Structure 1
């Protein structure tokens, strides 16, 4: 069985207007392969796109901070951290309150201290989607000037991590996309036996995910590690 782990921004979604190829999504769903979003986006944002695309699989939020598994998705019991109306949730990252405490000490601009209008302006998101982007649970995006990047060292001293996703630096707990993907692949293997994992991303915060999948694809024009470089999502369709 094949499983697709995909980033969203500049991968499944257009890098400029955040649109997606309806026909591509239809073709992916027709293959019957689980489509697992693995993104820096919040639960609320990913639920929006899952609903719009008709995707019903598990998903990984905020750069590997938590895995949301729909109830009855797997046929066997497994350990999870808490239960919601829709999901069993495995938490791998830090709670947002701790993240914000550290970020507030940095004295830099962050999504949590910005208005919906400001987030919309710096991201290019509509105001409705910017509201969803502000609903953080585990990670805080920063808007840094060149002279402020040295403050990222203070994040590490506080026992947290920072990542870069192509547009923004973010403060996160001691987790990454790769850890979340490995955990979810273990559950898929328990359910289905042999599985082949496919991953596609475009930025440094995707590298940990690409390092743990069987077939890693990197959208871009620069060869990095053993990742296969492609120009767009369409190029990997036959591999799925």
Structure 2
């Protein structure tokens, strides 16, 4: 079987955001991000990912974005980041990584590992509802395959971009999903939204993908409720010292884990 290759962690120092992209609504003005402030940029030394608030001090993102960070790393969540400013900036105080996630040597990741590519970030201080509102997870049976993605990415890392109309193209074993959404480097951890009774809920996260720039890209994500519930329990019960438990691998900023940004998917 061949590998599907898609590097989704974005390196910093890339060109400024483009004015427009096919199928994307680029949120250049302050009013355009209203209601989406809970989606933000996760800034790390040498790179960035996308994350989303699911509680006042809890950010949901992809595990591979935050694995392998050293004691000198300063990880910051920037809610509603736009052109150098944000609704709120918060340092990350604690990281919880799904227990099934393991970074392979060389940055390889199989499709069965994508379903575990989930992490929660505990912020050093809560973000108030006046600054940004959290989103809820979708925990039900989808009545259709229409979804939307809100993310940062290479060439548009200074502003949020939203693709309001893409679709679930496949549902596989253990909660693996595929999408035809327009994602790129930096879109790791981006929320995949579904509309539920008039409100946007988080169906999945962007983890990996293939055929970037070909016009026929496929993105991959996972089902969230079960893994997020386990991680939330671990953060709620966490004491001041990091420890290994059956619920999740918890890593305080400063602990080292193996892994890097390259994502390779074996279908």
Q: TM-score, normalised by structure 1?
A: 0.27
The structure carrying a bigger strand percent of its residues is 2
> RCO higher in 1 or 2 (8 Å CA, sep ≥ 6)?
2
The structure carrying a bigger helix percent of its residues is 1
Q: TM-score, normalised by structure 2?
A: 0.26
